[in-house]
């Protein structure tokens, strides 16, 4: 893992300076195409510095420089295009704020804006080529996983969602009964898994001690005999990266696996600062008030249009109000634009789902563009919700989910949010398994809260609105 981290930093370093070089080339090429000269290119240094600075910040937040990004559903080229848009918009604004600097001559708006478009194209193509070369030339992760078969079975399902090339050697307890049907099926599943090179008893650990694994991962609640512990100690002393499965999940998938943790993990684990630092809570509240007031003002025309469209299509109220569970299990009334038929729940509460037949035509549009969420800004302003946090759920569903998913009630330690880590990292879901997956992302957010993470979520939310992914 340490070698991989070095490679990550090296590639990020290369990307940062490659973008600066491409920006310089793009403006030179643009000016040459327009006026057949590049002798006054130095005059554009202030603009290029600002553009590159904005792109650097947005690119960092959306992983535009990270070949190993954990956002598997979003390509590196797509992340680049999202990160470069703010720089282009700011640059276009500058040309109109300072028209004297860009009217005619070598700094005309035409050469300037076409330089931005050339930069976008070159940056996109360079990432496609680099990612293609890296993906086919790099061996990726090699993991030695020492665990019970049940933990391994859960681990496989997540690893197989990753497009990077991963190979794993599974070492399991030699005392398991292969005659047991469940164990036999899990072994067969492991051996058939395309990411598993070999599945063997952990008595063979000595055969793997000198291998150069990216990481050694240990399943929790597994009792190892003394000789295995000594071999693992020797590997650790030689500098091998050894993780327990919870730590590896948090680092690799940016979520906390609820079925692999116990109460003791919460006692000893670092983080969860948002729960006991009043200053952070006050700053987050100030951010919520500022953002909700700003968005209420700027989106007011959309409220009018949405209300008219809803009333024209179907009978019923414009707004949909429903009880949800907030911080510390306190109930509150959540408001949204109505996107379903008036009688959508005449037969009782149901999970919302993709292509839900109860959703109206206008409802599909306002859901896809997130306009239906705008009334929740009032909930944020009142203090029922935060702009960022776990998705607020209905009490009728929570009662069942708490019985089936361990630690589900912990998501109520913070205010629910209009958007959140689970919403931007996991697609639309309507089942207990989906609720479990979203809880794992919510726990990661609560444990690792920071304002950088909040800004990351805001930018990812903007990307989801633009590209129509997630929920």
Domains of the chain: 2-137 (no CATH), 141-253 (3.40.50.10470), 274-467 (no CATH)
The dihedral region occupied by 234, where left means phi > 0, alpha psi between -120 and 50, and beta the remainder, is: alpha
Output the pTM of the full model.
Answer: 0.73
DSSP class of residue 261 equals -
Check residue 136 and give its pLDDT. Answer: 52
pLDDT reported for residue 199? 76
Neighbours of 202 (CB within 10 A): 21
User: pLDDT 10s per residue in the chain (471 long)?
Assistant: 444 456 566 666 777 778 778 878 887 788 778 776 555 556 666 666 766 676 666 666 556 656 555 444 445 666 666 667 766 776 667 666 655 555 544 456 677 778 778 888 888 788 777 766 665 555 567 888 887 776 676 677 777 666 556 777 888 777 666 667 767 777 777 777 777 777 778 878 888 777 777 788 887 666 778 888 888 888 888 877 888 888 888 877 888 988 778 777 887 788 888 888 888 889 899 999 998 999 999 999 999 998 998 888 888 888 988 899 999 999 999 999 888 876 656 565 555 655 666 778 888 888 878 888 999 999 999 999 999 999 999 998 898 899 899 899 999 999 999 999 998 888 776 788 888 989 999 999 999 888 878 888 887 887 777 665 544
- Find out whether 453 and 287 touch, Cβ atoms under 8 Å: no
Q: How far apart (Å, rounded) are the C-alpha atoms in residues 140 and 243?
A: 18
From the list 163, 171, 164, 122, the residue with the least C-alpha distance to 146 is 171
């Amino acid at each position: 893992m340490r070698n991989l981290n070095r490679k990550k930093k090296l590639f990020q370093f290369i990307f940062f300076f490659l973008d600066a070089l491409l920006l310089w080339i793009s403006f030179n090429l643009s000016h040459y195409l327009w006026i057949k000269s590049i002798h006054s290119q130095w005059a554009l240094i202030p603009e290029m510095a600002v553009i590159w600075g904005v792109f650097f910040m947005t690119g960092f937040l959306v992983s535009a420089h990270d070949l190993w990004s954990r956002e598997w559903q979003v390509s590196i080229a797509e992340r680049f295009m999202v990160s470069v848009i703010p720089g282009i918009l700011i640059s276009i604004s500058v040309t109109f704020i300072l028209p004297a600097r860009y009217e005619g001559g070598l700094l005309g708006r035409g050469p300037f804006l076409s330089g931005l478009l050339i930069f976008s194209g070159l940056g996109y193509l360079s990432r496609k080529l680099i990612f293609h070369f890296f993906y086919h030339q790099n061996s990726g992760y090699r993991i030695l996983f020492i665990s019970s078969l049940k933990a391994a079975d859960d681990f496989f399902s997540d690893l197989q969602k990753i497009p990077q090339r991963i190979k794993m050697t599974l070492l399991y307890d030699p005392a398991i009964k292969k005659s047991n049907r469940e164990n036999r099926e899990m072994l067969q599943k492991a051996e058939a898994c395309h990411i598993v090179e070999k599945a063997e008893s952990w008595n063979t650990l000595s055969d793997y001690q000198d291998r150069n694994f990216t990481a050694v991962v240990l399943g929790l609640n597994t009792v190892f005999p003394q000789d295995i512990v000594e071999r693992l100690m020797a590997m650790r002393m030689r500098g091998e990266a050894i993780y327990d499965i919870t730590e590896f999940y948090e680092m690799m998938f940016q979520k906390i696996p609820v079925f692999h943790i116990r109460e003791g993990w919460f006692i000893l684990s670092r983080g969860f600062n948002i729960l006991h630092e009043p200053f952070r809570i006050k700053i987050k509240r100030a951010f919520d008030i500022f953002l909700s007031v700003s968005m209420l003002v700027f989106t007011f025309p959309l409220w009018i249009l949405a209300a008219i469209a809803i009333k024209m299509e179907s009978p019923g109220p414009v707004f949909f109000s429903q009880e949800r569970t907030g911080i510390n299990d306190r109930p509150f009334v959540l408001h949204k634009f109505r996107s379903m038929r008036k009688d959508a729940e005449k037969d009782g509460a149901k999970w919302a789902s993709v292509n839900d037949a109860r959703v109206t035509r206008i409802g599909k549009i306002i859901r896809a563009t997130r306009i239906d969420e705008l009334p929740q800004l009032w909930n944020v302003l009142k203090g029922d919700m935060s702009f960022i946090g776990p998705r607020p759920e209905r009490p009728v569903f929570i009662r069942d989910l708490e019985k089936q998913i361990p630690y589900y009630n912990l998501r109520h330690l913070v205010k629910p949010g209009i958007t959140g880590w689970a919403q931007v990292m996991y697609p639309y879901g309507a089942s207990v398994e989906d609720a479990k997956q979203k809880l794992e992302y919510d726990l990661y957010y609560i444990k690792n809260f920071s304002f950088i993470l909040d800004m990351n979520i805001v930018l990812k939310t903007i990307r989801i609105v633009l590209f129509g992914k997630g929920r």
